[in-house]
Amino acid sequence: MKAKYRHEWKHEINAGDRIAIRQRLRAVAQTDPHAVNGQYRIRSLYFDDPKDRALREKIDGVNMREKFRIRYYNDDTSIIHLEKKCKINGLCSKFSAPLTPEEACSIAEGETGWMRDCDRPLLQELYVKMQNRRLQPKVIVDYTREPFIYGPGNVRVTIDYDIRTGLGGTDFLDPACTTIPAADDPIILEVKWDEYLPDIIRDAVDLKGRRASAFSKYAACRMYG
């Protein structure tokens, strides 16, 4: 698996910022065609080890880190993916492999023997790390996303809100499983691009001198355990 690294910029914003940035983006960018009425819901199940290595590396700002998650959209469990997100020197990459609902459920419940001989390298990697590092499901993360795209620079801008958390994860395929709001009800602006960020997008997401932060939805949703 060859990594393609992209720049990533994050900032926690307020409700007023969200309205203003959304209006500016609508004027210069396109809504992601996969969105429904300009948005979609995302549910992820994140993994970590007993020492919370992924969480602590994020909080400590470790330069090279990775995290695994299982993700699906808009309560549609017919399309599920295992993802590994890596970060090196401030650049991000993501690897993905499809899962059936049955496979996703068995991973969440710790039934992983079949992964050892499967034909998807990412699942084999997760299997090894579940055995050697004792990775296990830690938390469900739900949120609503408003996505925008801009061709030059392969830019993707997202506004995430209504972030909710659910501990454990064996029931994460159930859209009605119990989740609660993350602390402080954050709203997160994310900007991703390849080699350059066009000025028209830079201006659209400008926050008047405020600096980007290292906010993590996973970390915010781990506050309860």
Rounded-to-integer distance, Cα 184 and Cα 64, Å: 28
- Write out pLDDT tens, residues 92-124: 999 999 999 999 999 999 999 999 999 999 999
pLDDT by 10s per residue, the chain, length 225: 566 899 999 999 999 999 999 999 999 999 999 899 999 999 999 999 999 999 999 888 898 999 999 999 999 999 999 999 999 988 999 999 999 999 999 999 999 999 999 999 999 999 999 999 999 999 999 999 999 999 999 999 999 999 999 876 778 999 888 899 987 889 999 999 999 999 999 999 998 877 777 678 988 888 776
Query: Cβ-count burial of 25 within 10 angstroms (0-12 exposed, 13-18 middle, 19+ buried)?
Result: buried
pLDDT at residue 4 in the model: 82
What pTM does this model have? 0.92
Long-range contacts of residues 55-62, Cβ cutoff 8 Å, at least 24 apart = 55/138, 55/218, 55/219, 55/222, 58/214, 58/216, 58/218, 58/219, 59/216, 59/219, 61/214
pLDDT at residue 53 in the model: 95
Q: 6-221 maps to which CATH number?
A: 3.20.100.30
pLDDT at residue 168 in the model: 67
Rounded-to-integer distance, Cα 101 and Cα 97, Å: 13
182: Cα separation from own chain's centroid: 15
pLDDT at residue 215 in the model: 77
